Each structure stands twice: as structure tokens, then as C-alpha cells.
Amino acid sequence: MGRTDDKNVIVVGGGIGGLSAAVALRQQGFDVTVIERYPDLHSSVFGVGIIQPGNALRALDAIGCAEACVAVGYPAKQWGRMLDVNGDHLRDMPGVAIEGSKFPPLNGVTRPQLHEILTGRALAVGVQIHYGTSFAALEEGPESVTVVTESGERLTADVVVGADGVRSKVRQYVLGKEIEPKYIGQSAFRVNIPRLPEIDCIVLQVCDAGMAGFVPIGPDLAYMFYNAHFGVHERIPEDQLAPRLREYLAPFGGLTGRVRDEFITDDVDIVLRPEETMGVPTPWHKGRVVLMGDAVHTITPHLGQGAAQAIEDGVVLAEELAQNDRLDEAFARYTERRYERCKLIVDTSLNIGEWEMGRLPGFDNIGATNHVLEVMAQPL
Ligand SMILES: Cc1cc2nc3c(=O)[nH]c(=O)nc-3n(C[C@H](O)[C@H](O)[C@H](O)COP(=O)(O)OP(=O)(O)OC[C@H]3O[C@@H](n4cnc5c(N)ncnc54)[C@H](O)[C@@H]3O)c2cc1C
């Protein structure tokens, strides 16, 4: 590609991955434009909190965002601990320190906070963000690639990055229409609650039917999740979410029992999301177009690694584009560095879900989690 400062990149999707890639690319000297279909910074943000393991913080540090996340979030001294159904301590999960890192093994933030930090940084380094701009089509020529938006606008670039999430349209241009995420049979209830003192890391509490978990996401804020076995077409009316969640949590004593009784009231906001998985085989690129984030690795939330992997993708992609003159070589090196790492996360997260649903008896959930954390602590 030659000099980076006269090359321009269009990033499709201003989510966690797209913004991270945009900052990383801009830091390497590229001209970067992000197009995001939603009208503003906040409208694309859903859900409650984001778990940031040590490897996410390392990647965020590379784009100048880690300190801000730790400052507004809840930096935890250890990864997690596990309790039995009554709330008695079963075991600690210390996490894995990243060599040379000054950051904790885990930080929790709210999604809006993370989005504000990434957006603020992107604007500060000179990324252009076009909100209310939806990708519709791609036209690729020998010297450039043109993005056509739904309103008919045409934007031309040297490279297009498809960071448009699990239902990526850019992916169809690179890999065809057949690739689709798969619902795993579990959906996650999530609800924000006050951070009780014992929620000072990820706290998991198991019963025969499922697992409840707690994540600190600020000095005074935490969220509770419960992964429920759930039919793909099952729908719960809004006003039935709280009673249904209380039913799932009925067997628990200890922390979960207390949270159920005190905070899962009928008027509380509950987010219910289906859990999907997809590991896309390589190549992740074609011509001048490359994919990243959930568009190529949709990860169930069991290891809190989906966003982390999207951020890492952005950092590695920018490094390879800056270091390689030829696009095909840069994209191939990027995929080589990312594929196995992402596949481990996709597969292990899915296995944890299968085990929670009773389909993988004997699976060592803690051992698998620790293995993933050890691999993630290795250099990118
Ligand atoms: C309920 C839930 C909880 C999660 N919890 C965690 C967690 O604790 N920790 C963690 O690391 N990960 C978590 N994840 C996963 C994480 O949210 C994703 O892995 C991460 O957001 C992926 O980033 P992305 O940029 O690839 O995709 P997204 O964040 O989905 O961003 C894609 C963006 O592209 C935009 N877009 C889509 N189509 C178009 C188009 N045609 N034109 C223009 N723009 C478009 C979208 O509006 C969106 O802003 C969770 C996921 C879910 C569903």
C-alpha cells in the first residue's frame, strides 16, 4: 500500500470493533471514515454492561482508551469466584495477569460509557464519523472500492473494513449469503442492580438448572445475568419478564436469592437476548474488503470476550495494513494472527453454553475458562 497517510479507509459500522479499528488505523496514519446506520452515538448501544478482561484492556491501551475505561468502571482484583446454590463459596478464579500490564485482570463498564470513550477518542485522533448512513452495496475496481449507501451516496476508498456486526451485509460481498449465525438454545436475561459489596469480581452461582452471574460495572453499579434454556421462537411479553426471571431464580439462596427478592421487581428494566454463535472460516477478505468483529466471529457471552476480540481485531488489522505494502499480504497476516485465537473463544464459549444446558456432562467449565484466559494473556 505504500505510505499510509495518503490512503483512506471506510469502516462500515460504528460499534465497538469498528470504532476501535478506526482509532487504530488513524493512529497508524490512515484517513478513516466510519459509517454508522444509527443517527447518533447513543442509538446503537443496547444492553447493560461489558466485561473487559485483561486482554481487552491491553488492546484498549493500544488505542489510548484503557485508562478512561478503568477510571469510570470497576477494576477488579481478581477475575471471579464461584458459589453453590446456597451461596457458599466453591472456588476462586484468580484470572491470569498479563506480563508487563499495569491493568487489572478484569474491568467492568457500561456499554454507553465504553461507546462514549471510543467515540471521543476517534474524534480526537481525526476519524470522521457519518451517522445515519447505511451501507447498501459495494463496487470494487482495480484502483479503489466504492461504498454505496442506502440514500445513494457514493464514498470511495482504498480499503473497506466490514465491522457491521453479526448480520453483516459487507460479509455477503466477501463470503456470500450462506453464512449465518446459529441460535444456541439459550437466551440471557440481564438486569442492572446496585453493586453489593460482595460483587467485587465476576460472581457465578450454579444450580442444577442453570447459572446466575454478577458483574461489577461501576463503583455503585453491577448487572446480574441468567442464561436460560429457551426455544428459538419463544417470546415473553415485557410485563412477564420479571416474574419469569424470578421463577428461574427460585432455587437460589445466598447472593442470587437476595437479589431476586430485593431487586427483580415487576417494574425493573430487563434485557433478554438470544445467544448466537458463528465462527467463519478464512479467508476473511476479498480484494480491497476485509471483515472483523462479530461479522466473522459471533461469540456467546459466556467468557465476556466478544468485544475484546473485536477490539483486538482492530489493533492487529491496523498494524498489518501499516506494515505491509500489499493488501493481500496485510489481510492474510491479519487473519493468520487472529483466526485460531478467535476460534478458541467461539468454541469454548459455545461449550460452556452446552454444558450449562446439560448437553456436555463432565465438561470442566473452570479449567476451560482458565485455559482461555492463559491463551488470551499471551502476546497478540
Ligand atoms: C447481550 C450481550 C452481552 C454481551 N456482553 C459482552 C461482554 O460482557 N463482554 C464482551 O467482550 N462482549 C460482550 N458481548 C459481545 C459484544 O457486544 C460484541 O462481540 C461486540 O459488540 C462486537 O463488536 P462489533 O463492532 O463487531 O459489532 P457491533 O457492536 O454489533 O457493531 C456493529 C455496528 O454496525 C452497525 N451496522 C450494522 N449494519 C450496518 C449497515 N448496513 N450500515 C452501517 N452500519 C451498520 C450497527 O448499527 C452497529 O453499530 C455481548 C453481546 C450481547 C448480545
CATH of the domain at 191: 3.30.9.30
Atom 31, ligand 1: residue with shortest CA distance: 15
Domain end marker among 260, 275, 290:
275
User: Average model confidence (pLDDT) for the chain?
Assistant: 94
What domain count does the chain have? 2
DSSP 357: T
| Residues 284 and 348 placed together within one structural domain of the fold | yes
Residue 5 clears pLDDT 80, i.e. is over it: no
- 218/263 Cα distance (integer angstroms): 17
Distance from Cα 142 to the centre of ligand 1, integer Å = 31
| Residues 305 and 209 placed together within one structural domain of the fold | no
Residue 329 identity: E
- What are the pLDDT digits (tens) for 272-313? 999 999 999 999 999 999 999 999 999 999 999 999 999 999
Confidence of residue 47 (pLDDT cuts 50, 70, 90): low
Domain end marker among 225, 248, 275:
275
pTM: 0.96
Q: Which of 77-86, 299-308, 325-334, 356-365 has the lowest mean pLDDT?
A: 356-365
Q: Residue 218: what pLDDT?
A: 97
Distance from Cα 16 to the centre of ligand 1, integer Å = 6
Which structural domain range is residue 222 located in?
186-275
- What are the pLDDT digits (tens) for 110-121? 999 999 999 999
| Residues 266 and 165 placed together within one structural domain of the fold | no
**Atom of ligand 1 minimally distant from the CA of 53:** 11
**Atom of ligand 1 minimally distant from the CA of 273:** 1
Q: What is the CATH number of the domain that holds 22?
A: 3.50.50.60
**Atom of ligand 1 minimally distant from the CA of 298:** 19
Q: Residue 112: what pLDDT?
A: 94
Residue 130 clears pLDDT 70, i.e. is over it: yes
Tell how strand 31-35 and strand 128-130 pair up: parallel
| DSSP result, 7-73 | -EEEEE--SHHHHHHHHHHHHTT-EEEEE-SSSSTTTT--SSEEEEEHHHHHHHHHTT-HHHHHHHS
Residue 4 clears pLDDT 80, i.e. is over it: no
The predicted model gives 351-356 an average pLDDT of 92
| Residues 343 and 370 placed together within one structural domain of the fold | yes
Confidence of residue 2 (pLDDT cuts 50, 70, 90): very low
Q: Residue 44: what pLDDT?
A: 74
Distance from Cα 116 to the centre of ligand 1, integer Å = 15
* Residues found in the chain: 380
Inside any domain, residue 25: yes
| DSSP result, 199-226 | -SSEEEEEETTEEEEEEE-SSSEEEEEE
Q: Residue 76: what pLDDT?
A: 97
3-state secondary structure (DSSP) of residue 148: strand
- What are the pLDDT digits (tens) for 55-81? 999 999 999 999 999 999 999 999 999
| Residues 67 and 134 placed together within one structural domain of the fold | yes
Residue 214 clears pLDDT 60, i.e. is over it: yes
281-286 CB contacts, 8 Å cutoff, 24+ apart: 282/335, 282/339, 283/174, 283/331, 283/332, 283/335, 284/174, 284/331, 284/334, 284/335, 284/338, 284/339, 285/174, 285/328, 285/331, 285/332, 285/334, 285/335, 286/173, 286/174, 286/175
Residue 332 clears pLDDT 90, i.e. is over it: yes
Residues flanking ligand 1, CB < 6 Å: 12-18, 35-38, 44, 47, 50-51, 134-135, 163-165, 169, 188, 273, 293-294, 299, 301, 304-308, 310
**Atom of ligand 1 minimally distant from the CA of 111:** 17
Of 294, 302, 346, 349, the residue with max ligand 1 atoms within 8 A of its CB, to mutate for a pocket test, comes to 294
Residue 137 in contact with residue 35, Cβ under 8 Å? no
Distance from Cα 322 to the centre of ligand 1, integer Å = 25
Residue 3 clears pLDDT 60, i.e. is over it: no
Q: Which helix (H) or strand (E) holds 279?
A: strand 271-279
Distance from Cα 88 to the centre of ligand 1, integer Å = 35
| Residues 21 and 143 placed together within one structural domain of the fold | yes
Of 34, 36, 173, 224, the residue with max ligand 1 atoms within 8 A of its CB, to mutate for a pocket test, comes to 36
Domain end marker among 248, 275, 302:
275
| Residues 36 and 172 placed together within one structural domain of the fold | yes
- What are the pLDDT digits (tens) for 197-208? 999 999 999 888
| Residues 137 and 191 placed together within one structural domain of the fold | no
Nearest to 301 by CA among 215, 180, 178, 194: 215
- What are the pLDDT digits (tens) for 177-199? 999 999 999 999 999 999 999 99
| Residues 334 and 214 placed together within one structural domain of the fold | no
The predicted model gives 237-248 an average pLDDT of 95
| Residues 329 and 197 placed together within one structural domain of the fold | no
The residue among 343 and 100 whose pLDDT is bigger is 343
**Neighbouring residues of 199: CB distance < 8 A, sequence distance ≥ 6:** 214, 215, 216, 222, 255
Residue 96 clears pLDDT 90, i.e. is over it: no
Distance from Cα 294 to the centre of ligand 1, integer Å = 7
Confidence of residue 127 (pLDDT cuts 50, 70, 90): very high
The predicted model gives 332-342 an average pLDDT of 98
Distance from Cα 371 to the centre of ligand 1, integer Å = 25
Distance from Cα 165 to the centre of ligand 1, integer Å = 5
Distance from Cα 18 to the centre of ligand 1, integer Å = 9
- What are the pLDDT digits (tens) for 132-182? 999 999 999 989 999 999 999 999 999 999 999 999 999 999 999 999 999
Of 51, 164, 225, 270, the residue with max ligand 1 atoms within 8 A of its CB, to mutate for a pocket test, comes to 164
- 158/309 Cα distance (integer angstroms): 25
The predicted model gives 32-61 an average pLDDT of 91
- 21/19 Cα distance (integer angstroms): 5
